[in-house]
Amino acid sequence: MNDSWIITGGEVLTPEGLRGGDIAFSNGVIGDASPDARIFDAGGLLILPGIVDIHGDGFERQIMPRPGVSFPHEVALPETDRQLVANGITTAFHGLTISWEPGLRSLEGARGFIEAWRAVRSGLRADTRLHLRWETFALDAADTVCGWFGLDPKPIVAFNDHTTGTVRMGRTPGKLDQWAARAGLSVEDYSALLDGVWARRDEVPCAIDRMAARARERGLVLLAHDETSPAERERFRALGAKTSEFPMTRETAAAARAAGEHAVLGAPNVLRGGSHTGALDAAEAVAEGLCTVLTSDYFYPAPLIAAFRLAEAVGLERAWPLVARNAAEAAGLVDRGELRPGLRADVIAVETVPDAAPRVAAVFVAGRQVHLAP
């Protein structure tokens, strides 16, 4: 198939803003088109770099749409892929949580997911990668997680501690029921398991140190999740985690930015007017320069819509890097995120309509057209 294209008639995003002009690519790379290039008429459309989503676990809803109701990964992954490209996401890091819980986020669940991902990845349209989210209290899973550091393409790795918060909030009405249902346990059994995990908390710091050292040996990108203070940011920075993912306080995000590090927040936070957990407000953080990357988190349409909403105040040339160039940089990907010669041809064409959400009209991944809206 001829994957040489010229996209013509649209408004192309540049660092200075939207400009009329053509963009050409061949053999998956932006640059000159071949003589037999196909023409894509983008009249009335905006031509943007594809979205790079470095933290998304929306795929879990395809695996387990209701507590106790599961579908095979081989079904869930292609369905997720359809949602990704329809929302302009050309590079997706699936946030695969490896926890001490049984069920959806268990070690066995992660093994099954990775096996299926490796089997179907070549047939997926988005460049689909892994974001290994290791729960730091999942001590018995640590060696297995380290064994996945050699996967191709390289995963990114995040340190997550939801256990401490679970212990603190676990007696809140409804919370324990929710977590127990996700794990497929009774409330009593979940509480007993949590107590056993919490009893090993003194082992966690050394396990984090070992995990970080092995990740650094592999040259992996490290992130720290839900940091609560500048001191915690300093601790994980020393371990090689140079990105603060979902910092919980303004001071923590400011500490990351003062060190020239990326601070990542969820795009749904922008759409909803704040965090559903009461944490940092993403729109305010962007305005203050305390957020450099937005992710889908749990809702794949969010990055596209959030970037356009923010663009109303700051312009698309400042808003779009939050979901493209900056996100690629945070993930260690230097070959995408902008529409420049020599970079990977991940390109989306977007239709904007007054008083409606932006609509993805076409998607090209590595120069190949993978989506065309009716």
Mean pLDDT to the nearest integer, 102-122: 97
Mean pLDDT of the 102-108 span? 95
Q: Are residue 274 and residue 367 in the same domain, yes or no?
A: no
- Residue 119 structure tokens: 């089997």
- Please name which of 19, 24, 67 lies closest in space to residue 364, comparing C-alpha atoms: 24
Residues 128 and 155 in one domain: yes
Q: Write the CA distances from 355 to 269, 308, 344, 352, integer angstroms.
A: 20, 12, 33, 9
Same domain? For 146 and 185 the reply is: yes
| Mean per-residue pLDDT over the chain, rounded | 96
For 17, 22, 58, 65, 331, the CA distances from 359, given in Å and listed in that order, are 20, 20, 19, 25, 26
29 with 63, same domain: the answer is: no
Q: Are residues 103 and 18 in the same domain?
A: no
Residues 6 or more apart in contact with residue 62 via CB below 8 angstroms? 71, 75, 76, 77, 79, 80
The pLDDT value given to residue 275: 77
Confidence of residue 98 (pLDDT cuts 50, 70, 90): very high
Paired residues of 40 in beta bridges: 7
Residues 352, 253, single domain; the answer is no
> Would you state the structure tokens that stand for residue 156, as one six-digit string?
């990114």
| 224 and 349 together in one domain | no
Mean pLDDT confidence for 167-175: 73
| Maximum alpha-carbon separation in the chain | 68
Residue numbers of the domain that contains 109? 51-336
Tens digit of each residue's pLDDT (9 = 90 or more) over 254-276: 999 999 999 999 999 999 987 76
| pLDDT recorded at residue 170 | 64
**Residues 55 and 65 occupy one common structural domain:** yes
> Which CATH number belongs to the domain containing residue 371 in this structure?
2.30.40.10
Would the pLDDT of 1 be above 60? no
Give the pLDDT score at 173: 63
As for how many domains the chain has, the answer is 2
pLDDT digits (tens, 9 = 90+) for 212-263: 999 999 999 999 999 999 999 999 999 999 999 999 999 999 999 999 999 9
